[in-house]
Amino acid sequence: MKVGVISDTHNFLDPHILKMFHGVGHILHAGDIGQPAILDQLRQIAPVTAVAGNTDDPMFGYSLSETVELGGLRFLVQHIVNPRLPGDDLRSRINATRPQVVVFGHTHSPFDAEVEGIRFLNPGCAGKKRFSLPRSVAMLHLRDRKMTVEILPL
């Protein structure tokens, strides 16, 4: 199974992403979405699990955290995460949901590392270029409860 991972669109969905994610079985959006129309466009490709970011309007009702099982792995999706120093709220969520993978955004920088037995993944920023950082998304390849990650530049 292929899973597209995106974050920090900030109300801009690059048309290249629609092509890159063609054929995925699921999409994870790790926050700072913008208008719900962004998710509507992604849902035309595959089911979407999405969470609110710190810039998302609360009136859109996005969840702060979501858990989903894909390819035999449990994913926790939350926008602001410090993998090396998780706060009490994140620790509680991890203890309650026992994910193998935590997907996050916010930093606008790709990150992929295992910390204390949990894989932490940030696909980078997919919105308009900000902070002189490269733009990117991630593609996950799930098979036999194992995951390989590709960070794809935009």
What is the pLDDT, as a whole number, of residue 132?
A: 79
What is the pLDDT, as a whole number, of residue 41?
A: 97
Contact 124, 133 (CB under 8 A): yes
Tell me the β-bridge partners of 27: 4, 48
Percentage, residues of the chain above pLDDT 70:
100
Owner of token pair 């995106």: 6
Q: What is the pLDDT of residues 34-90, one digit of tens each?
A: 999 999 999 999 999 999 999 999 999 999 999 999 999 999 999 999 999 888 999
Which 8-state DSSP code applies to residue 117?
Answer: T
Which 8-state DSSP code applies to residue 81?
Answer: -
Does this model's pTM top 0.85? My answer is yes
Maximal CA-CA distance, the chain: 39
- The helix/strand/coil state of 42 is helix
Q: What is the pLDDT of residues 16-36, one digit of tens each?
A: 999 999 999 999 999 999 999
